[in-house]
A and B are shown apart, each in its own frame.
Chain A
Amino acid sequence: MAVLTYRDALNEALREEMQRDGDVYLMGEEVAEYNGAYKVSRGLLEEFGPMRVVDTPIAELGFAGIGVGSAMTGLRPVIEMMTWNFALLAIDQIVNVAAKIRYMSGGQIGCPIVFRGPGGAALQLGAQHSQAFESWYAHIPGLKVVMPATPADAKGLLKSAIRDNDPVVFIEGEMLYNLKGDVPEGEHLVPIGVADVKRAGQDVTIVCHSKTVAPALNAAKALSEEGIDAEVLDLRTIRPLDEEAILRSVAKTHRVVVAEEGWYFAGVGAQIVDLVQREAFDDLDAPVLRVHQADVPMPYNKYLEKAAKADATKIAAAVRRVCYKD
């Protein structure tokens, strides 16, 4: 094991997959000469050259489409979106083509592509640069949506995503890049579609993913001092959703809080609530609560921004409520 940052774990996954398979290439704005806007691709140009680490103009729709077209011929592109806010310009290619080409062609043509980059809010970047869009992509049949919360998962899931034969929307946490953790060296694959218990507990399940995993763990720690033993279930993949893992945990704890970075309405949490009430109604001892971003565009002011974000305090408060302890 080596201790790596989330950023370097992603870099290692890219490097190993590019070494393994000559069809894998990386393309996007500033990925090559600049080493990546968030430095995820540092050193790759030097190692693989400009045909495999490709700088593009600012033209998200264009280069996403070029990636999709090349994937339709069997190449395995990794398309870096500088952030997912800007991928909105490319959403036509992602949703109208990548997600549907296999279906529309009756299975003749696949699209083994990964769209990756940072999602969600950082600090005080304002409304157009602070958005969590996972529920948008998860809504679309034909796409897989993957969101690692730790360096080890980042490496293992990115490697799996690159090897996957379908389009994968791989959303990194903009605030997670400097997070450090143990990462297995070499061949470390985390399967897509498998959730992970990041902390085992008896009293309540906190279902979370990506940037809400760390605050959920912090909340669980604080709650343990109050005598509440919370289980923290990291989804890791939003679609396909690991429904069994969720139901297994609910059968054990009987109480659920869903914590996500995105907005409430039609958010990922709504999907979890649907599943739990449908499949585990009799297991529940309390209504399922959701913690999420305030239902407003993200404000720039730092105090308003803090008030808008999901955090450990809000998660702990929701847990107390489902435990009828407040």
Chain B
Amino acid sequence: MAVSTSNAPKARRRGTDAPYADQYQDWLRMMLLIRRFEERAGEAYSIGQIGGFCHLYIGQEAVAVGLISALRSDDYVISAYREHGQALARGMTSRSIMAELYGKATGCSGGKGGSMHLFDLEKGFMGGHGIVGGQIPLGAGFAWAAKYRKTEQVSLTFFGEAAANIGAFHEALNIAGLWKLPAIFVIENNGYGMGTAVKRSAAITDLHLRAASYGMPGVEVDGQDIVAVREAAETAYARARAGEGPTLLDIRTFRYVGHSMSDAASGTYRSKEELDASRQRDPIALLEARMRDAGLLDDAGLAELEASVAAEVADAATFAEESPEPDASALFTDVLAPHGEDT
């Protein structure tokens, strides 16, 4: 895959007067948290503490953090099965997510959802979804509801570049464009859908161009540079909140790991060289460098952040390990609304 970054926005002026400087620390901590959480999840999976499928997000951290950090607390977020990072960025606790991966009663979905189905209604996190592209019309639906209620909320829908080939993508984006819905459609373009490179699955590989058919702007974004992601997010949200309609973001990023835990990071459908090259632009390292340049981070500061993140992840894992399994009776609850419950 050719990840072109040539036409990505240029890095901003550096220095403490940079517009987001006061947020760098939070962003860095969140990206580190996502990465360490994912590494821990990978280990837990390999020793059978997590079952089923487990799709890690390592390498894509700046996308979730850049976009979600600019949201209001009442906005909506929806994603696919590779959603641990977005759930963390949205402020769901490490404990509730890790416990869900372990299938425990204390997990955010009570152990019934698992890695692919994290939900937290209070945080406006409307789920991880397992059917490719199935969440795209749902994201448009949240936007429709916001327009209906005149709330100026936006709806952020994450999906992979391969999901953009699903019919639901076309139908949802066309309606969202037609009705000027406050929806942001985010292609997390990591170059591969399972083992298939973009150029083997899309007739036009510049996916942002597709936006033209739906009457919305299509923006290509460097997904390894969190400032670029954040800027694109703000422009899109402002448009949406002003009633000007949806935006399609084609965010170029990398997945350092295999599609899921059963799939090697490289060697089959992509080369080790390609993977190594992608690691040269690590989103966490790039933000670290930006912060060091601006005098906002030193070794001690980084060590402190790492320690705090490590403690949080360790606590989450312990919590998950020690949490109870769901009661056997939970098998039959939550199928339908409780009898007699008013809406």
Q: Contacts A126-B52, A126-B114, A304-B330 given: A59-B165 contact, CB under 8 Å?
A: yes
Question: Whose C-beta in chain B lies nearest to the C-beta of A125?
Answer: B52
Asked whether A95 is an interface residue with its Cβ less than 8 Å from the other chain, the reply is no
- Mark out the residues of chain B between 59 and 111 whose CB falls within 8 Å of any chain A CB in the assembled complex: 103-104, 109, 111
Q: Could you tell me if A29 and B325 are in contact, using CB atoms closer than 8 angstroms?
A: no
Task: Provide the B230-264 mask, 1 if CB < 8 A to any CB of A, else 0.
Answer: 00000000000000000000000000000000000
Asked whether A61 is an interface residue with its Cβ less than 8 Å from the other chain, the reply is yes
Q: Could you tell me if A86 and B131 are in contact, using CB atoms closer than 8 angstroms?
A: yes
Asked whether B201 is an interface residue with its Cβ less than 8 Å from the other chain, the reply is yes
Q: Which residues of B are found within 8 Å of A295, using beta-carbon distances?
A: 335
Asked whether B163 is an interface residue with its Cβ less than 8 Å from the other chain, the reply is yes
Q: Contacts A58-B132, A58-B166 given: A126-B195 contact, CB under 8 Å?
A: no
Taking a contact as CB atoms closer than 8 A, the residue among A33, A128, A307 that contacts B131 in the complex is: A128
Q: Contacts A34-B268, A127-B117, A299-B331 given: A57-B165 contact, CB under 8 Å?
A: yes
Task: Provide the A53-76 mask, 1 if CB < 8 A to any CB of B, else 0.
Answer: 001011111100000000000000
Asked whether B124 is an interface residue with its Cβ less than 8 Å from the other chain, the reply is no
Question: Whose C-beta in chain B lies nearest to the C-beta of A122?
Answer: B52
- Mark out the residues of chain B between 181 and 201 whose CB falls within 8 Å of any chain A CB in the assembled complex: 193-196, 200-201
Complex Cα distance, B131 from A302, in Å, reads: 21
Q: Contacts A37-B194, A89-B167, A128-B117 given: A55-B332 contact, CB under 8 Å?
A: no
Taking a contact as CB atoms closer than 8 A, the residue among B131, B162, B195, B325 that contacts A57 in the complex is: B162
CB distance from A87 to the nearest CB of B (A): 11
Q: Which residues of B are found within 8 Å of A62, using beta-carbon distances?
A: 167
CB distance from A300 to the nearest CB of B (A): 3
Q: Which residues of B are found within 8 Å of A127, using beta-carbon distances?
A: 112-113, 117
Asked whether A135 is an interface residue with its Cβ less than 8 Å from the other chain, the reply is no
Asked whether B53 is an interface residue with its Cβ less than 8 Å from the other chain, the reply is yes
Asked whether A303 is an interface residue with its Cβ less than 8 Å from the other chain, the reply is yes
Q: Which residues of B are found within 8 Å of A86, using beta-carbon distances?
A: 131-132
Q: Could you tell me if A301 and B131 are in contact, using CB atoms closer than 8 angstroms?
A: no
Q: Contacts A59-B165, A307-B331 given: A300-B196 contact, CB under 8 Å?
A: no
Taking a contact as CB atoms closer than 8 A, the residue among B104, B195, B328 that contacts A33 in the complex is: B195
Q: Which residues of A are found within 8 Å of B131, using beta-carbon distances?
A: 85-86, 88-89, 128
Asked whether B301 is an interface residue with its Cβ less than 8 Å from the other chain, the reply is no
Q: Which residues of A are found within 8 Å of B53, using beta-carbon distances?
A: 125, 129
Taking a contact as CB atoms closer than 8 A, the residue among A124, A125, A301 that contacts B325 in the complex is: A301
Complex Cα distance, B53 from A166, in Å, reads: 35
Taking a contact as CB atoms closer than 8 A, the residue among A58, A85, A294 that contacts B193 in the complex is: A58
CB distance from A201 to the nearest CB of B (A): 32
Taking a contact as CB atoms closer than 8 A, the residue among A37, A60, A129, A308 that contacts B331 in the complex is: A308
Q: Could you tell me if B332 and A124 are in contact, using CB atoms closer than 8 angstroms?
A: no
User: What count of chain A residues pass the 8 Å CB interface test?
Assistant: 35
Task: Provide the B321-340 mask, 1 if CB < 8 A to any CB of A, else 0.
Answer: 00001101011100100000
Asked whether A297 is an interface residue with its Cβ less than 8 Å from the other chain, the reply is yes
Task: Provide the A108-127 mask, 1 if CB < 8 A to any CB of B, else 0.
Answer: 00000000000000011111
Complex Cα distance, B46 from A84, in Å, reads: 27
- Mark out the residues of chain B between 138 and 175 whose CB falls within 8 Å of any chain A CB in the assembled complex: 162-163, 165-168
Q: Could you tell me if B194 and A304 are in contact, using CB atoms closer than 8 angstroms?
A: no
Asked whether A30 is an interface residue with its Cβ less than 8 Å from the other chain, the reply is yes
Max count, chain A CB within 10 A of own CB: residue among B162, B166, B331: B331
Q: Contacts A123-B51, A296-B335 given: A30-B195 contact, CB under 8 Å?
A: yes
Complex Cα distance, B326 from A242, in Å, reads: 42
Q: Contacts A124-B114, A128-B117, A297-B335 given: A302-B51 contact, CB under 8 Å?
A: yes
CB distance from A94 to the nearest CB of B (A): 15
CB distance from B81 to the nearest CB of A (A): 9
Taking a contact as CB atoms closer than 8 A, the residue among A29, A297, A299, A308 that contacts B194 in the complex is: A29
Task: Provide the A80-108 mask, 1 if CB < 8 A to any CB of B, else 0.
Answer: 00000110110000000000000000000
Complex Cα distance, B193 from A33, in Å, reads: 13
Q: Contacts A58-B165, A124-B103 given: A33-B269 contact, CB under 8 Å?
A: yes
Q: Could you tell me if B51 and A294 are in contact, using CB atoms closer than 8 angstroms?
A: no
Complex Cα distance, B269 from A128, in Å, reads: 27
Q: Could you tell me if B195 and A296 are in contact, using CB atoms closer than 8 angstroms?
A: no
- Mark out the residues of chain A between 263 and 317 whose CB falls within 8 Å of any chain B CB in the assembled complex: 294-297, 299-304, 307-308
CB distance from B84 to the nearest CB of A (A): 14
Asked whether B208 is an interface residue with its Cβ less than 8 Å from the other chain, the reply is no
Q: Which residues of A are found within 8 Å of B132, using beta-carbon distances?
A: 58, 86
Q: Could you tell me if A300 and B103 are in contact, using CB atoms closer than 8 angstroms?
A: yes
Q: Which residues of A are found within 8 Å of B129, using beta-carbon distances?
A: 128
Complex Cα distance, B201 from A62, in Å, reads: 13
Q: Could you tell me if A304 and B328 are in contact, using CB atoms closer than 8 angstroms?
A: yes
Q: Could you tell me if B117 and A124 are in contact, using CB atoms closer than 8 angstroms?
A: no
CB distance from B208 to the nearest CB of A (A): 18
CB distance from A243 to the nearest CB of B (A): 33
Question: Whose C-beta in chain B lies nearest to the C-beta of A300?
Answer: B114
Asked whether B116 is an interface residue with its Cβ less than 8 Å from the other chain, the reply is yes
Q: Contacts A57-B196, A126-B130 given: A300-B331 contact, CB under 8 Å?
A: no
25 A-B residue pairings within 8 Å (CB atoms): A33-B196, A34-B268, A55-B196, A55-B200, A58-B165, A86-B132, A89-B131, A89-B167, A123-B52, A124-B51, A125-B114, A129-B52, A129-B130, A296-B335, A297-B335, A299-B111, A300-B103, A300-B112, A300-B114, A301-B111, A301-B114, A301-B325, A303-B326, A304-B111, A308-B331
Taking beta carbons and an 8 Å cutoff, which residues of B are in contact with A?
Answer: 51-53, 103-104, 109, 111-117, 129-133, 162-163, 165-168, 193-196, 200-202, 268-269, 325-326, 328, 330-332, 335
Known: A127-B112, A299-B331. 11 other contacts (CB 8 A): A29-B194, A30-B194, A37-B194, A85-B130, A126-B114, A128-B116, A294-B331, A296-B331, A296-B332, A300-B117, A304-B331
Taking beta carbons and an 8 Å cutoff, which residues of A are in contact with B?
Answer: 29-30, 33-34, 37, 55, 57-62, 85-86, 88-89, 123-129, 294-297, 299-304, 307-308
**Complex A-B, nearest 9 residue pairs according to Cβ-Cβ distance, in ascending order:** A300-B114, A124-B51, A124-B52, A128-B130, A301-B103, A34-B195, A57-B165, A57-B201, A301-B111
